Amino acid sequence: MTPAHTLPGEYFTSPSIFAQELRRIFWRDWVCVDRADRLTQAGDYLLADLGEQSVIVLRDGSGQYRALHNVCRHRGTRLCSEPHGRLRERIQCPYHAWTYGLDGRLVGAPHMDTVQGFARQDYPLRSAALQSWEGFLFLNLGEGSEPLDDALAPLQSSISRFRLPGLRSARRIEYDVQANWKLVVLNYSECLHCPVIHPQLAKLSPYQSGANDLTEGPILGGYMDIAREGGSLTASGRACGAPIPGLPEADHGRVYYYSIFPNMLLSLHPDYVMFHTLWPVNAAHTRVVCEWLFPPQTLDDPAANPEDAIEFWDTTNRQDWRICEQNQAGIASPAYTPGPYSENESLLAAWDSEYLRKLGGADR
């Protein structure tokens, strides 16, 4: 059988292909925005920016999560500019003071009272689909989107035992990566590079161990073994706290890694969970957000050491970003041509296939 090959260089460097990715993928698929518990009070909001699309994700006065396009219905001005914050019961345009409730209703429109036929109820903020899953919020800008539970059903049985909604965040780090977003996903999806790039990781988790259980479609991944009994992936190699309550004994020696198309990477350890969200800026620039989640018992236990996990993966993340940037620089060279994948890179070939399927269309 002829081996699968990496994608041509234009898929990582072309502004026109990047624009198509926004329209065909990020504006149509379910995109992980953040943890729902970042929005704890009425008026708490964060911005989800995907190219020219900017969406205010907030919690309204009734406790409901909403996604409202960050575009005033008067003359199109961006309403919110800070990436996150808290709104005081209203969203007011900074240009002409059109004012909206947290549910998106237009409640104030100066100087429009004398405009014949004008009715405030005709000009609410445009909304987008927003659904929660296992403590995460997902946004979909498309029309007639598939229910989120259906889209993520293949993963449900693999992650429900980790009790994600009950975990608490200990740290959040944002990274600026000068590489295409796809290179970040592809790098995450294999560990053949681990002995070279991550010697400490390869020591704690044999790089060819484990098995994949999701091998095609938008969700890909499986598990790898932890070499040390009772250990974890931490700077010390020891568990940073007690195992996640109720986790089966077999999972105490495994780490599960899943890529959720297009922008979420979910890593499930016996004692904590880490996730990344990817936010493409342009063809060669990606903002990556990484967050570490722990059982409340761990964070409340003075003998536990969450920093042990955070330090380990922050170092590993930075090693990954550095090699992704070198990968980007090489692919940008006219000397680059697609190379063959090995059998151990089957998830990468499967991801490429799903990506090309989602990108396909009449105007490609």
The stretch 90-113 carries a mean pLDDT of 97
Beta strand 285-294 with 273-282 is antiparallel
- Domain limits of the chain? 31-148, 153-359
Q: How confident is the model at residue 1 (pLDDT cuts 50, 70, 90)?
A: low
pLDDT at 361 over 90: no
The stretch 108-124 carries a mean pLDDT of 97
H helices present in the chain, as ranges: 10-13, 15-21, 148-151, 153-159, 181-188, 194-197, 199-204, 296-300, 306-331, 346-359
Is domain 153-359 annotated with CATH 3.90.380.10? yes
Q: What pLDDT does 142 receive?
A: 94
The stretch 330-356 carries a mean pLDDT of 97
Q: What pLDDT does 364 receive?
A: 35
pLDDT above 90 covers a percentage of the chain that reads 96
List, in order, residues 6 or more apart from 94 with CB less than 8 Å away: 77, 79, 81
| Closest of 135, 146, 112 to residue 65, by C-alpha | 135
Distance of CA 144 to the CA centre of its chain: 22
d(CA 214, CA 217): 8
- SS3 state of residue 103: coil
Which CATH superfamily groups domain 31-148? Answer: Rieske [2Fe-2S] iron-sulphur domain (2.102.10.10)
pLDDT at 363 over 70: no
d(CA 99, CA 114): 17
Give 242-272 pLDDT, tens digit per residue.
999 999 999 999 999 999 999 999 999 999 9
Give 177-218 pLDDT, tens digit per residue.
999 999 999 999 999 999 999 999 999 999 999 999 999 999
Tokens 């105490």 belong to which residue?
252
Q: ∠269-270-272 over CA atoms, to 5°?
A: 60
At position 150, the amino acid (one-letter code) is D
Give 213-242 pLDDT, tens digit per residue.
999 999 999 999 999 999 999 999 999 999
Average pLDDT value over all residues in the chain: 96
Q: How confident is the model at residue 362 (pLDDT cuts 50, 70, 90)?
A: very low
pLDDT above 70 covers a percentage of the chain that reads 98
Per-position DSSP letters for 256-304, written without gaps between them = EEEEETTTEEEEE-SS-EEEEEEEEEETTEEEEEEEEEE-HHHHH-TT-
pLDDT at 3 over 90: no
